Structure 1
Amino acid sequence: MKVSSRRVFLKYMAMLGLVTWSTTPLYAKVPKATFKYQDTPLDGKKCVDCVYFLAESSECKMVEGVVSPEGWCRIFLKKK
């Protein structure tokens, strides 16, 4: 019986994981304060040069709301 109950438990956990995964967005934007966003550049690093910046809407893929092209945050990742 232990094997059967273990299998049931593992199946339940797998299903729970699938349900959680399928109902959670692949990414969610976070508040600006989380990444210490500021409206000014830092050491020449600007949002306009970041891979997450969406120029057409002045938004970031990771940070909530409108961001300044001249801004900066901790997740800055320079475009190649």
Structure 2
Amino acid sequence: MTSRWLRSCPPLPWSAPLWAAVLLTGMRGRRAGLVIVMHHVVTDGLGGLALLAALLDPGAPAGEQPVPVPAPGRRALVAQASPAG
């Protein structure tokens, strides 16, 4: 069932996020599956494996994750590089 879905998976639209996730239910033995499709511009091979490992890690801490800090602007970089007055 999964391989049939992947073969018939339409291209990801550019007007929506460049990833999709589908939860497959109704499998034998009350099992389920998660199919995640990502465009190659979202992650490279190693990044995809790291994301998959984080998703499947049962020991990962729950709760908020740190938010990346934006890169400093040009003025902040110049101020940091200038000697203290």
TM-score for the superposition, normalised by structure 2? 0.17
More strand by share: 2
Q: Using CA pairs under 8 Å that are at least 6 residues apart, name the structure with larger relative contact order, 1 or 2.
A: 1
TM-score for the superposition, normalised by structure 1? 0.18
